[in-house]
Amino acid sequence: MIANCTLQAEDRDAGERLDAFILARVPTSSRSLVLEAIEKKWLSVNGRREKKGYKINPGDKVVIDRLLEASDWKAAPNAEIRISVIHEDPSFLVIDKPPGVPVHPLEPFETDTVVNGLVAAYPDVAGIGPDRLFPAIVHRLDTETSGVMLAARTKAAYDALRRQFRDKRVSKKYVALVCGRLSENASLENWLTHSPSGPHRMLVAEQSARKAMMAITEYSVRETLSSHTLLDVTIRTGVTHQIRCQLAHIEHPLAGDVLYGSKEADAGYEGRLFLHAREISFADPVTGTERCFHSELPGELSNLLQRLRGGKTTGNAP
Protein backbone atom coordinates (compact mmCIF):
# COMPACT_ATOMS: atom_id res chain seq x y z
CA MET A 1 0.00 0.00 0.00
CA ILE A 2 1.20 3.49 -0.85
CA ALA A 3 0.88 5.92 2.08
CA ASN A 4 2.01 9.48 2.82
CA CYS A 5 3.43 9.93 -0.67
CA THR A 6 3.77 13.20 -2.61
CA LEU A 7 3.85 13.38 -6.42
CA GLN A 8 5.02 16.58 -8.14
CA ALA A 9 3.59 17.30 -11.59
CA GLU A 10 6.00 18.41 -14.32
CA ASP A 11 5.53 20.26 -17.63
CA ARG A 12 5.07 16.98 -19.51
CA ASP A 13 2.09 16.11 -17.28
CA ALA A 14 0.06 19.18 -18.27
CA GLY A 15 -3.53 18.34 -19.24
CA GLU A 16 -3.38 14.74 -18.05
CA ARG A 17 -6.35 13.46 -16.05
CA LEU A 18 -5.73 13.02 -12.34
CA ASP A 19 -6.39 9.27 -12.34
CA ALA A 20 -4.11 8.67 -15.33
CA PHE A 21 -1.37 10.82 -13.79
CA ILE A 22 -1.40 8.81 -10.54
CA LEU A 23 -1.46 5.44 -12.29
CA ALA A 24 1.49 6.43 -14.48
CA ARG A 25 3.47 7.31 -11.35
CA VAL A 26 2.25 4.30 -9.33
CA PRO A 27 1.99 1.42 -11.86
CA THR A 28 1.78 -1.13 -9.03
CA SER A 29 -1.76 0.07 -8.40
CA SER A 30 -4.68 -0.20 -10.85
CA ARG A 31 -7.19 2.18 -12.37
CA SER A 32 -10.03 0.88 -10.21
CA LEU A 33 -7.94 1.30 -7.05
CA VAL A 34 -6.90 4.81 -8.05
CA LEU A 35 -10.54 5.73 -8.69
CA GLU A 36 -11.44 4.30 -5.29
CA ALA A 37 -8.77 6.45 -3.60
CA ILE A 38 -10.11 9.56 -5.37
CA GLU A 39 -13.72 8.74 -4.51
CA LYS A 40 -12.89 8.08 -0.85
CA LYS A 41 -10.81 11.25 -0.68
CA TRP A 42 -7.61 9.48 0.21
CA LEU A 43 -5.59 12.00 -1.82
CA SER A 44 -5.51 15.72 -2.53
CA VAL A 45 -4.22 18.13 -5.17
CA ASN A 46 -2.64 21.27 -3.76
CA GLY A 47 -4.54 20.64 -0.55
CA ARG A 48 -7.92 20.23 -2.28
CA ARG A 49 -9.99 17.11 -2.97
CA GLU A 50 -10.40 16.86 -6.73
CA LYS A 51 -12.40 14.54 -9.00
CA LYS A 52 -10.91 11.93 -11.31
CA GLY A 53 -11.32 14.20 -14.34
CA TYR A 54 -9.24 17.00 -12.89
CA LYS A 55 -6.64 18.18 -15.42
CA ILE A 56 -3.12 18.27 -14.08
CA ASN A 57 -1.17 21.53 -14.19
CA PRO A 58 2.63 21.75 -14.01
CA GLY A 59 3.67 22.21 -10.41
CA ASP A 60 0.61 20.51 -8.94
CA LYS A 61 1.36 18.67 -5.74
CA VAL A 62 -0.61 15.42 -5.36
CA VAL A 63 -0.49 14.06 -1.81
CA ILE A 64 -1.53 10.43 -1.42
CA ASP A 65 -2.66 9.57 2.08
CA ARG A 66 -3.55 6.04 1.08
CA LEU A 67 -3.58 4.05 -2.17
CA LEU A 68 -3.94 0.30 -2.47
CA GLU A 69 -1.64 -1.59 -4.80
CA ALA A 70 -2.78 -4.57 -6.85
CA SER A 71 -0.92 -6.91 -4.49
CA ASP A 72 -3.05 -5.62 -1.58
CA TRP A 73 -6.27 -6.73 -3.27
CA LYS A 74 -6.69 -10.08 -1.56
CA ALA A 75 -8.50 -11.60 1.39
CA ALA A 76 -6.39 -11.73 4.55
CA PRO A 77 -6.50 -14.95 6.60
CA ASN A 78 -8.26 -14.71 9.96
CA ALA A 79 -8.07 -17.88 12.08
CA GLU A 80 -10.56 -16.40 14.57
CA ILE A 81 -13.35 -16.96 12.01
CA ARG A 82 -14.09 -20.64 12.51
CA ILE A 83 -15.31 -22.52 9.45
CA SER A 84 -17.72 -25.38 10.07
CA VAL A 85 -17.17 -27.95 7.33
CA ILE A 86 -19.99 -30.38 6.52
CA HIS A 87 -17.95 -32.29 3.94
CA GLU A 88 -14.33 -32.13 2.81
CA ASP A 89 -13.32 -33.46 -0.60
CA PRO A 90 -10.05 -33.06 -2.55
CA SER A 91 -11.84 -30.83 -5.08
CA PHE A 92 -14.46 -29.00 -2.99
CA LEU A 93 -15.70 -28.14 0.49
CA VAL A 94 -19.26 -27.90 1.80
CA ILE A 95 -19.45 -25.22 4.48
CA ASP A 96 -22.11 -24.60 7.12
CA LYS A 97 -22.27 -20.79 7.10
CA PRO A 98 -23.27 -19.11 10.38
CA PRO A 99 -25.77 -16.22 10.38
CA GLY A 100 -24.55 -12.65 10.71
CA VAL A 101 -21.22 -13.27 8.96
CA PRO A 102 -20.66 -11.85 5.45
CA VAL A 103 -19.44 -14.30 2.83
CA HIS A 104 -16.52 -12.18 1.64
CA PRO A 105 -14.87 -8.81 2.28
CA LEU A 106 -15.57 -5.79 0.11
CA GLU A 107 -12.20 -4.25 0.96
CA PRO A 108 -8.85 -5.91 1.81
CA PHE A 109 -8.88 -4.52 5.35
CA GLU A 110 -12.16 -6.29 6.16
CA THR A 111 -11.32 -9.57 7.87
CA ASP A 112 -14.47 -10.82 9.64
CA THR A 113 -15.96 -12.87 6.80
CA VAL A 114 -16.32 -16.52 5.81
CA VAL A 115 -13.60 -16.12 3.18
CA ASN A 116 -11.12 -14.78 5.75
CA GLY A 117 -11.68 -17.87 7.87
CA LEU A 118 -11.54 -20.12 4.82
CA VAL A 119 -8.14 -18.91 3.59
CA ALA A 120 -6.79 -19.24 7.13
CA ALA A 121 -7.91 -22.88 7.37
CA TYR A 122 -7.18 -23.76 3.72
CA PRO A 123 -4.41 -21.44 2.44
CA ASP A 124 -4.28 -23.23 -0.93
CA VAL A 125 -7.70 -21.82 -1.96
CA ALA A 126 -6.57 -18.17 -1.78
CA GLY A 127 -5.74 -17.97 -5.49
CA ILE A 128 -8.77 -19.79 -6.89
CA GLY A 129 -11.12 -17.70 -9.02
CA PRO A 130 -10.80 -14.30 -10.71
CA ASP A 131 -11.32 -12.13 -7.61
CA ARG A 132 -8.80 -12.42 -4.78
CA LEU A 133 -11.30 -10.91 -2.34
CA PHE A 134 -13.74 -13.68 -3.23
CA PRO A 135 -11.63 -16.81 -3.77
CA ALA A 136 -12.93 -20.38 -3.96
CA ILE A 137 -16.56 -19.60 -3.02
CA VAL A 138 -18.77 -20.41 -6.01
CA HIS A 139 -21.99 -18.75 -4.79
CA ARG A 140 -23.19 -16.39 -2.09
CA LEU A 141 -25.61 -16.34 0.82
CA ASP A 142 -26.90 -13.16 2.44
CA THR A 143 -25.04 -12.08 5.56
CA GLU A 144 -28.10 -12.83 7.69
CA THR A 145 -28.71 -16.27 6.12
CA SER A 146 -27.22 -19.50 7.49
CA GLY A 147 -26.66 -22.88 5.88
CA VAL A 148 -24.89 -24.82 3.14
CA MET A 149 -22.33 -23.18 0.87
CA LEU A 150 -19.87 -24.57 -1.68
CA ALA A 151 -16.18 -23.74 -2.01
CA ALA A 152 -13.79 -25.08 -4.64
CA ARG A 153 -10.34 -26.41 -3.77
CA THR A 154 -8.98 -26.46 -7.33
CA LYS A 155 -9.34 -24.21 -10.34
CA ALA A 156 -10.88 -27.05 -12.37
CA ALA A 157 -13.52 -27.64 -9.68
CA TYR A 158 -14.21 -23.90 -9.45
CA ASP A 159 -14.79 -23.64 -13.20
CA ALA A 160 -16.98 -26.77 -13.25
CA LEU A 161 -19.15 -25.63 -10.33
CA ARG A 162 -19.52 -22.11 -11.71
CA ARG A 163 -20.71 -23.58 -15.02
CA GLN A 164 -23.34 -25.58 -13.16
CA PHE A 165 -24.61 -22.44 -11.46
CA ARG A 166 -24.70 -20.53 -14.76
CA ASP A 167 -26.58 -23.41 -16.40
CA LYS A 168 -29.02 -23.59 -13.46
CA ARG A 169 -28.09 -27.22 -12.74
CA VAL A 170 -27.55 -26.65 -9.01
CA SER A 171 -30.57 -27.20 -6.73
CA LYS A 172 -30.76 -24.98 -3.64
CA LYS A 173 -33.44 -25.49 -1.01
CA TYR A 174 -34.22 -23.33 2.01
CA VAL A 175 -36.39 -23.32 5.11
CA ALA A 176 -38.17 -20.00 5.69
CA LEU A 177 -40.61 -18.73 8.28
CA VAL A 178 -42.87 -15.95 7.04
CA CYS A 179 -45.27 -13.61 8.78
CA GLY A 180 -48.94 -14.42 8.29
CA ARG A 181 -50.71 -17.58 7.20
CA LEU A 182 -50.26 -19.21 3.80
CA SER A 183 -52.27 -22.26 2.81
CA GLU A 184 -51.26 -23.01 -0.79
CA ASN A 185 -48.00 -23.77 -2.57
CA ALA A 186 -46.94 -21.30 -5.25
CA SER A 187 -44.25 -20.16 -7.67
CA LEU A 188 -43.22 -16.50 -7.67
CA GLU A 189 -41.84 -15.06 -10.90
CA ASN A 190 -40.85 -11.40 -10.82
CA TRP A 191 -38.40 -8.99 -12.36
CA LEU A 192 -36.20 -7.53 -9.62
CA THR A 193 -33.93 -4.53 -9.65
CA HIS A 194 -31.92 -2.53 -7.13
CA SER A 195 -33.96 0.04 -5.27
CA PRO A 196 -33.06 3.67 -6.03
CA SER A 197 -33.31 4.33 -2.30
CA GLY A 198 -30.28 2.13 -1.64
CA PRO A 199 -28.13 -0.50 -3.40
CA HIS A 200 -28.66 -3.08 -0.64
CA ARG A 201 -32.40 -3.42 -1.20
CA MET A 202 -34.20 -5.04 -4.13
CA LEU A 203 -37.68 -4.33 -5.42
CA VAL A 204 -40.15 -5.89 -7.84
CA ALA A 205 -40.11 -3.98 -11.14
CA GLU A 206 -41.08 -4.13 -14.79
CA GLN A 207 -38.91 -6.01 -17.26
CA SER A 208 -37.97 -2.68 -18.80
CA ALA A 209 -36.47 -1.41 -15.52
CA ARG A 210 -32.75 -0.73 -15.47
CA LYS A 211 -30.78 -3.95 -14.86
CA ALA A 212 -33.96 -5.92 -14.15
CA MET A 213 -33.33 -9.63 -13.43
CA MET A 214 -35.87 -12.45 -13.53
CA ALA A 215 -36.26 -14.23 -10.17
CA ILE A 216 -38.09 -17.52 -9.76
CA THR A 217 -38.87 -18.74 -6.26
CA GLU A 218 -41.04 -21.76 -5.49
CA TYR A 219 -42.43 -22.51 -2.06
CA SER A 220 -44.52 -25.21 -0.40
CA VAL A 221 -46.24 -24.97 2.96
CA ARG A 222 -44.63 -27.20 5.57
CA GLU A 223 -46.52 -25.98 8.63
CA THR A 224 -49.10 -23.28 9.39
CA LEU A 225 -48.88 -21.66 12.82
CA SER A 226 -51.15 -19.11 14.46
CA SER A 227 -49.36 -16.05 13.07
CA HIS A 228 -46.61 -17.51 10.84
CA THR A 229 -46.09 -20.13 8.13
CA LEU A 230 -43.09 -22.43 7.78
CA LEU A 231 -42.11 -22.91 4.13
CA ASP A 232 -39.84 -25.11 2.07
CA VAL A 233 -38.35 -22.85 -0.60
CA THR A 234 -36.52 -23.69 -3.82
CA ILE A 235 -34.92 -20.99 -5.95
CA ARG A 236 -34.48 -21.45 -9.70
CA THR A 237 -32.41 -18.28 -10.14
CA GLY A 238 -29.72 -16.54 -8.12
CA VAL A 239 -30.85 -12.91 -7.81
CA THR A 240 -29.77 -10.96 -4.72
CA HIS A 241 -32.35 -11.11 -1.91
CA GLN A 242 -34.89 -12.81 -4.19
CA ILE A 243 -36.54 -14.91 -1.46
CA ARG A 244 -36.77 -11.95 0.91
CA CYS A 245 -37.97 -9.48 -1.69
CA GLN A 246 -40.53 -11.73 -3.38
CA LEU A 247 -42.11 -13.00 -0.17
CA ALA A 248 -42.34 -9.44 1.15
CA HIS A 249 -43.95 -8.42 -2.15
CA ILE A 250 -46.85 -10.84 -1.50
CA GLU A 251 -47.11 -9.36 2.01
CA HIS A 252 -45.53 -12.32 3.80
CA PRO A 253 -42.05 -11.09 4.75
CA LEU A 254 -39.58 -13.37 6.47
CA ALA A 255 -39.75 -13.41 10.23
CA GLY A 256 -37.10 -11.11 11.63
CA ASP A 257 -36.37 -9.38 8.31
CA VAL A 258 -36.10 -5.70 9.27
CA LEU A 259 -35.07 -4.71 5.73
CA TYR A 260 -38.15 -6.05 3.94
CA GLY A 261 -40.56 -6.67 6.82
CA SER A 262 -42.17 -4.56 9.49
CA LYS A 263 -41.25 -4.24 13.15
CA GLU A 264 -44.91 -4.52 14.10
CA ALA A 265 -45.26 -7.88 12.36
CA ASP A 266 -42.35 -9.33 14.32
CA ALA A 267 -42.47 -7.60 17.68
CA GLY A 268 -40.42 -9.62 20.15
CA TYR A 269 -38.41 -11.56 17.57
CA GLU A 270 -34.96 -12.07 18.97
CA GLY A 271 -32.29 -11.19 16.52
CA ARG A 272 -32.02 -12.75 13.05
CA LEU A 273 -34.15 -13.38 9.99
CA PHE A 274 -35.57 -16.87 9.63
CA LEU A 275 -33.95 -18.13 6.43
CA HIS A 276 -31.72 -21.19 6.33
CA ALA A 277 -30.07 -22.85 3.31
CA ARG A 278 -31.05 -26.44 4.09
CA GLU A 279 -29.85 -28.41 1.06
CA ILE A 280 -27.67 -28.16 -2.02
CA SER A 281 -27.44 -30.69 -4.87
CA PHE A 282 -24.94 -30.63 -7.72
CA ALA A 283 -22.80 -32.84 -9.92
CA ASP A 284 -19.41 -33.78 -8.48
CA PRO A 285 -16.91 -31.58 -10.38
CA VAL A 286 -14.58 -34.57 -10.89
CA THR A 287 -16.75 -37.67 -11.25
CA GLY A 288 -20.01 -36.09 -12.42
CA THR A 289 -22.05 -38.11 -9.91
CA GLU A 290 -24.94 -36.37 -8.15
CA ARG A 291 -24.03 -35.05 -4.70
CA CYS A 292 -26.43 -33.72 -2.07
CA PHE A 293 -25.61 -32.14 1.29
CA HIS A 294 -27.76 -30.84 4.14
CA SER A 295 -27.45 -28.41 7.01
CA GLU A 296 -29.53 -28.83 10.16
CA LEU A 297 -31.74 -25.96 11.28
CA PRO A 298 -29.77 -23.88 13.83
CA GLY A 299 -30.84 -24.17 17.44
CA GLU A 300 -32.10 -20.59 17.77
CA LEU A 301 -34.48 -21.10 14.82
CA SER A 302 -35.69 -24.46 16.15
CA ASN A 303 -36.29 -22.88 19.54
CA LEU A 304 -38.29 -20.06 17.98
CA LEU A 305 -40.48 -22.58 16.19
CA GLN A 306 -41.09 -24.46 19.43
CA ARG A 307 -42.16 -21.26 21.17
CA LEU A 308 -44.52 -20.39 18.32
CA ARG A 309 -45.99 -23.89 18.58
CA GLY A 310 -46.46 -23.37 22.29
CA GLY A 311 -43.96 -26.06 23.23
CA LYS A 312 -40.65 -26.13 25.06
CA THR A 313 -37.40 -25.18 23.41
CA THR A 314 -35.47 -28.09 21.98
CA GLY A 315 -32.58 -28.93 19.66
CA ASN A 316 -32.42 -28.73 15.89
CA ALA A 317 -35.59 -30.55 14.83
CA PRO A 318 -37.74 -28.43 12.52
Q: Identify the CATH number of the domain in which residue 300 sits.
A: 3.30.2350.10
- Shared domain for 253 and 308, answered yes or no, is yes
pLDDT reported for residue 313: 45
Count: domains in the chain: 3
Classified as helix, coil or strand, 197 is coil
Last residue of a domain, one of 72, 100, 131: 72
pLDDT reported for residue 269: 59
Provide the domain limits for residue 208: 168-318
Task: Please list the pLDDT of the chain residue by residue as tens digits (318 residues).
Answer: 899 999 999 999 999 999 999 999 999 999 989 999 999 999 999 999 999 999 999 999 999 999 988 888 889 999 999 999 999 999 999 999 999 999 999 888 899 999 999 999 999 999 999 988 999 999 999 999 999 999 999 999 999 999 999 999 999 999 999 999 999 999 999 999 999 887 689 999 998 888 899 999 999 999 999 889 999 999 999 899 999 999 999 999 999 898 898 665 554 555 688 999 999 999 999 999 999 999 999 998 998 899 888 865 444 446
Q: In terms of Cα–Cα distance, which of 171, 161, 99, 98 is closest to 125?
A: 161
- Shared domain for 230 and 280, answered yes or no, is yes
- Shared domain for 172 and 158, answered yes or no, is no
pTM to 2 decimal places = 0.82
- Shared domain for 11 and 121, answered yes or no, is no
Q: In terms of Cα–Cα distance, which of 64, 50, 51 is closest to 22?
A: 64
Neighbours of 116 (CB within 10 A): 23
- Residues β-bridged to residue 234: 173, 218
Residues 6 or more apart in contact with residue 242 via CB below 8 angstroms: 192, 202, 215, 217, 235
- Shared domain for 81 and 50, answered yes or no, is no
Round to whole Å and give the CA distance between 123 and 300: 32
Round to whole Å and give the CA distance between 58 and 80: 49
pLDDT reported for residue 70: 85
Phi and psi at 188, nearest 5°, equal -105, 125
- Shared domain for 186 and 315, answered yes or no, is yes
Last residue of a domain, one of 72, 90, 110: 72
Classified as helix, coil or strand, 268 is coil
Q: Identify the CATH number of the domain in which residue 24 sits.
A: 3.10.290.10
pLDDT reported for residue 314: 45
Under a CB-based contact definition with an 8 Å cutoff, are residues 306 and 178 in contact? no
